[in-house]
Amino acid sequence: MPYNYKECKLQIYFPKEHHWCLFPLNTYISYSIIDSKYGLIRNEDKSSFYYTTNIELDNSQSINNISFFISNATMEDINFGLSFGYHNTIETSSIVHNLYQRREIDKKIFAFEFFNNKSSFHIGGIQYDKQNYVQYKGSIKINENFPTWGFELKEIMFHNVTYKINLPVIINSASNFLFDSDELYELFSNFHKVNKEDTIDFIFHSLIIKINARCFNNNYSPSIMKSSARKDEQFKGIIIGAQFLELFNYTIFDYDKKQIEFYSDRIVIIEPYSGLLKRMILFIEIICVANIIIIIYQQGTIVRNKLTNQYYLIFRLN
C-alpha cells in the first residue's frame, strides 16, 4: 500500500460514515485514536468515547469491527493515529492481529518501505522477500518492558570519541523527526566541525548504525526535536521518528520474533557480535568433530585390543 512520503500516513476510508482521511500510522499507541480535526463523528456529551466501525485501507483492504477512541480535542500527531503499537494487540484494536485471525496474512508483521523516493506500507510480509537483496541488514530484539517497540541506545561515537547514552528508545512513526530527545539535542549542539561526509555511529543494544551527518540537515523539518517541547510526558526517553525510518529501504516490525529488522543499501548496519558468534560456533563445531574422531579412534583401539587379546587367549589355550 503506498502512503504519503516523508510522513507515515495512509489514506483510510470509513464506508459507513462516507468519510476519507489521511491517517498517521502510529507505532507508539496501543489503540487507534481519532481527534476532532478529522470530523468523523462527534459526541458533545463526552470528551472522548469508544467507537467501533469498518475501514478500508487505501480503498483496497476491508477491515471490519476495528475499534477507535475518538477525542473531541485536537491532539499532537505523536499521540493519535492508526495503532501499530506492540502492546494490547487484541483483534478489535490491532489491524495486524485482525487480519491474522481472519487468515488473510500468515505472519504478524508490518513493514515500512522507502525506495527511489517512493514509500509503501506492508502488512504480513514483503513480496518476494525483496529486503534480503539489499547490502546491509540487522535486527534488534525489543525490550518488552518499554511502552512499545523499543530498545536501548548505549553509545554514540563521533570523531573517534565515544559518548555514553544508556537511554531507552522507542519508535513512533507518527513523529516527523529523526530523534525527539533533550539529551541528543544537547549533545549534537556541542558537536563542532561537522562535515557532510562525517559519519555518526549509533550503538544500540546489538546493532551499530552509521548515519551520515548530511541526514541531520533536513529540508522540510528539524532532525532533532527537544523532548521538553512535548506535551506528552508519559515516556521520558528518546523517540525515534519517521525521518529515521526513511534512512532504510525496509524496516520490519515482527510481533512473534519480538524484534525490529533494518535493511538498507545506503546506511551501513553492523551486527558486532554476529561475526564473533559465527567464529565461536565454527570453533565449537571443529572441537566436536575432533572429539568424535578421537572417540571413534579410541573405540576402535579398544575393539582391536579386545580382538587381539581374544586371539592370543585362544592361541594359548590351544
C-alpha cell at 221: 523539518
Strands (E), the chain: 9-14, 19-26, 32-34, 48-57, 61-71, 82-83, 109-115, 118-123, 136-141, 150-158, 161-171, 179-180, 199-204, 208-212, 224-225, 238-240, 250-254, 259-264, 268-270
How far is residue 237's CA from residue 166's CA, in Å, rounded to a whole number? 10
d(CA 136, CA 263) in angstroms, rounded, equals 6
- CB contact at 8 A, 9 and 3: yes
Distance from first CA to last CA of the chain, Å, rounded? 90
The pTM assigned to this predicted structure is 0.81
**pLDDT tens digits, the chain, 318 residues: what are they?**
544 445 688 888 888 888 888 888 999 998 888 887 777 777 767 778 888 889 998 757 888 888 888 887 777 778 888 999 999 777 788 899 989 988 999 999 999 999 877 888 999 999 888 888 899 999 999 999 999 999 999 999 998 899 999 999 999 999 888 999 999 999 988 887 778 788 999 999 879 999 988 888 665 557 888 877 666 567 889 999 999 999 999 999 999 999 999 999 989 999 876 554 455 555 566 677 667 777 776 666 554 554 444 432 333 333
Is residue 85 within 8 A of residue 255, CB to CB? The reply is no
